[in-house]
Structure 1
Amino acid sequence: MILFKADYKKYSVSQLEMLRFKEEDFYRRYDHCVLLQTCNRVEVYFDPNFVNLENLKMDFKDFELIKGKDAIIHLLRLASGLESMIIGEDQILGQIKKSYYTAKKYGKTTKYLDTVFLKSIHTGQRARSETKINKGRVSIASAAIELLEKNVELKNKNILVVGAGEIGTLVGKVLIEKNIKAIFVANRTYERAERLAKKLGGMAVHFDKLKEALNFCDVIICATASPHKILDKDTLKDVKGEKIIVDIANPRDVDDNVRELPNVKLYTIDDLRLVSKENLEKRKKEIPIVEKIIEEEFSILQRKLEKLNFEHLIKDYRNYIENIRNRELKKALKMIRSGKDPEKIIVKFSEVFANRLLHDFIEAVYSNKVDKEVIKDMITLLKSKIQ
C-alpha cells in the first residue's frame, strides 16, 4: 500500500484546507486509488502494483508518505477509531465506507484495494462491537458541545446552527439533550433548514436573515459544506451582545479576523484537541484490546494479500508462456501453409517451445534470482506428478 497522508496531528486546519481535492477532479486525474477526506484529514491510498511511486511523489510532496505494512496498519487503526482526534469516534468508519464506495463508483479501486478496505471496515466494526472504545460522546459534533459546556452555561441559551448537513444534524441531536432555550437552523437551502429544525423542535432561518439570527442567538455553531467563508469581521461587527462561535466546518466557515472583535469568542477544530486529550484518558484502557484485534485482522489480511500476489504471479507467468506459445505457433503455421511437412513442424514447434522455457528458467537460476533449494523442491514435486 502507498499512502499520502495529512492529518490534524501535523497539519493545521488552514493547511488541510489547502490540501483538499475536488473529488471529481481528483478521480479524473488518478487511477487505482481511494481518496479519504474528513474534517481533519486528507489521505490518498494507492495500489502499489499499478502506480509509479516516483511519479507520484512530486504531486503529493506536501503530504507525509507511508508505505507497505505501515500504511495498511494505519488504515486499520483509523477504521478502529485509534487515529481520530477523538479516540473511538464512530463517524470515521462511515467516512471510510463512503470514500471506498465512491472510489469504486468511479471505477478506481483494484482487487488489492477492495481486499484492504473491506478488511479495514470489518476491523472497525469488530473494534466497536467487542470493546468500549466508542462508548460515550465521541464525534466532532459531541466534542464541540463538550467544549462549549466547559466555557459557557448552555442551559437557557439561544443556539444557532449554521448548516443542515451531516455535521449540523449531529450537532443538533446532541443539543436537544441539553435543555437549550431555543435552537435555530440556518442553511442556504431553506427546505433543508426546515427539515432539520422540525426534527430538533426548533425554528428554520432564511439565509438572507442570518444577521438577524446572529443578533438574537448567544452561541453560533458553523458546520456548512461551503467552499467560502460565511462569517467574517465585517459580518459580525454590528452584532450586539457576547457571542461564542464554534467553527467545525472544513473548509472553515469563519474568518480568523473575527477574533479582533471584543464581543466574539471563536473556537475551531484545533481547539477540540484539548477535548480529545481528555477523552483519550477515559478510553486508553480499551486501546490495547483494540490493538490486539487489529493484529489478528492484519495477520488474516496478510494471508489474503499473499494469495492475491500469488494470483498476480500466476497470471504474469501464464501471459509469459502465452507470448512464447503465440510467437512460435505463428512461425509453425506459416511454415505449414508454405507446404512443409506438418508433422515435422509440430515436432519442431514443441522442441522450440520447451527449449525457450528451459532457457529462461536456467538463466534465472544461474543469475541467482531464484532460490536453488526452492527449485529442487519444485522439480521433485513435478517429477512425482509426471510419474
Structure 2
Amino acid sequence: MITILKADHKKYRVDELEKLRVDEEEFYKNFDNSILLQTCNRVEMIFFNHDLEEIKRKVKNFDKFDILIDDEAIIHLFRLASGLESMIVGEFQILGQLKNSYLKAKNLGKIKSKEFEKIILKAIHVGQRVRLETDIGKGSVSIASAAVELVEKLTGLEGKNLLLIGAGEMGTLVAKALKEKKIKAIIVANRTYEKAESLAKELGGIAIKFDKLKEALKYADIVISATSAPHPILTKERVRDIGETIIIDIANPRDTTDDIRELSYIKLFTIDDLRIVAEENLKKREKEIPKVEEIIKEEFKVLKEKLEDLKVEEEIKEFCKVLEEIREREVKKAIDIFKNKNISFEEVLENFSKALCKRVICEVKRFYKN
C-alpha cells in the first residue's frame, strides 16, 4: 500500500544527506502517486501502491535508505508531522514542509489515489491537532530558535547590533526567530547579495556584500553564522580585532574554527552548545510525548476505519459497475430473442430474470472470494 524510503539526521550528517538528495523533476517523472519530502535534515520518498523492485530500479542510492511499509509508514508520517522525528522534538517546521510537498505533488497531478490523499491529509491533521492540544511545541523548537534563546539568556537582544551571516534555509529560520525582537540593528551578509537583501528587508535590517564582512564583524555585538560553506569562514585571525562579541555558529559543517576560543573577549557557541539548550527544553517536553503518542494512536485507529470504509466503497462501486454491464448484456439478449423468435413475452422475461440472477450470484461469489 504505502512505502517510505527514509534518510534523516538520526543516521546521517547534513553533508551526507546532501549527497542523497533527489532531483525533484526526475522523481516526479518516474513516479505517480508519490511525494518527495526534502529538508536539510531529511530526504524522504513516499510511494503509494508501488512495487518495491520498481522503486529499487529507479531510485539512486536505494540501499542508503531505510524502508517503512504500510502501518509502520503511516505511524512514521504521524510522528513526523507531530514533531517527534525532528532534530529537536516538537519542532513544527516539518509540518509546513510536509504540507508544501503534498501540495507540490498534487499540483503536478501525482496524487491520484483517494486513499493516498486521505493518509497524507490525516498526517497533516494529526500535526495540527498535536500543536493545538499539547505543549510539545512550546519554547525553542529548532537550532535557530535555540540560538536566539541562548543570546537572550546571555546578554539580551534589546539595543544590540546583530550580524546574521547566511541567508539560506537556516539563516531564514534565524530570521523568523528574530522577528518582533527589540534589536537595535540587524545586518545580513550572504555570498549572493540578492538573498541577503531580501532577508534584510523582511527583518527591517540592511544587507551587505560578503567582502564587507570584516567591517560588519567589528560593528556587531552578536554574530549568528549559518552558511552552507564547505570550509570555515570565521577564523581566529579574521575575528582577532573585532572586540567583545558573542558568536553563535549553527552551520553544519561549522563556519568557525576552535582557536577562536583562545580570544577571551569572544564567546563562541556551536551546535554542540545549542544541544544543551535543546536538552533542557526537551526535559520540559518529555511529559508531553505520551499525550502526542495517544493522539497518534487515536487518529491511526480513525484512519484505518476510514480506509476500510473507502476500500468497501470502491469495491461496491466496482461491483455495481459489473452488475450494470451484466444487466445491459442480458437485456440486449432478451430483446434479440423477443424480436427473432416466436416466443411469448412472459417466457422471455422468465428466461431473462433467471439468467440475470445466475450471473449476479456468480459475481457475488467472486466478490466475496476476493
Q: Tell me which residue corresponds to 2:74.
A: 72
Q: Matched residues in 1 for 2:342 and 2:38: separation? A: 67
> Can you list the C-alpha shifts for 1:30-84, whole angstroms capped at 9, x where unaligned?
111222222212222222xx32233224434322111222222222222222221
Are 1:126 and 2:129 counterparts?
A: yes
Q: Is the partner of 1:219 in helix, strand or coil?
A: strand
Q: Is the partner of 2:79 in helix, strand or coil?
A: helix
Q: Matched residues in 2 for 1:44 and 1:137: separation? A: 28
Q: Matched residues in 2 for 1:209 and 1:341: separation? A: 102
Q: Map residues 254-273 of structure 1 onto 2, 5 A cutoff.
A: 262-263=259-260, 267=270
* Identical columns (%): 49
Alignment CA distance shift 1:277-1:245 (3 Å): closer
Q: Tell me which residue corresponds to 1:83.
A: 85
Alignment CA distance shift 1:142-1:332 (3 Å): same
Alignment CA distance shift 1:26-1:86 (3 Å): same
Aligned length: 351
Q: Matched residues in 2 for 1:237 and 1:346: separation? A: 98
Q: Matched residues in 1 for 2:288 and 2:201: separation? A: 38
Q: Matched residues in 1 for 2:171 and 2:15: separation? A: 21
Q: Tell me which residue corresponds to 1:381.
A: none
Q: Tell me which residue corresponds to 1:6.
A: 7
Q: Is the 8 A contact 1:335 1:345 kept in 2?
A: no
Q: Matched residues in 2 for 1:215 and 1:240: separation? A: 8
State the one-letter code of the partner of 2:225: I
Superposition TM-score, scaled by structure 2 size: 0.75
Q: Following TM superposition, by how much is the alpha carbon of 1:168 offset from its aligned partner in structure 2, in angstroms?
A: 2.6
Q: Map residues 88-167 of structure 1 onto 2, 5 A cutoff.
A: 88-109=90-111, 110-146=113-149, 159-164=162-167, 167=170
Q: Tell me which residue corresponds to 1:206.
A: 209
Alignment CA distance shift 1:351-1:189 (3 Å): farther
Q: Matched residues in 1 for 2:131 and 2:233: separation? A: 45
User: Which of 179, 183, 187 pairs up with 2:186?
Assistant: 183
Q: Matched residues in 2 for 1:115 and 1:11: separation? A: 31
Q: Following TM superposition, by how much is the alpha carbon of 1:205 offset from its aligned partner in structure 2, in angstroms?
A: 0.8
Alignment CA distance shift 1:207-1:331 (3 Å): farther
Alignment CA distance shift 1:2-1:323 (3 Å): farther
Q: Tell me which residue corresponds to 1:290.
A: 292
> Can you list the C-alpha shifts for 1:245-275, whole angstroms capped at 9, x where unaligned?
6344xxx6x5x7x77784497946x876554
**Aligned Cα root-mean-square deviation (Å):** 4.2
Q: Is the 8 A contact 1:214 1:220 kept in 2?
A: no
State the one-letter code of the partner of 2:34: C
Alignment CA distance shift 1:144-1:315 (3 Å): farther
Q: Matched residues in 2 for 1:118 and 1:93: separation? A: 11
User: Which of 277, 280, 286 pairs up with 2:279?
Assistant: 277
Alignment CA distance shift 1:24-1:360 (3 Å): same
Are 1:170 and 2:169 counterparts?
A: no
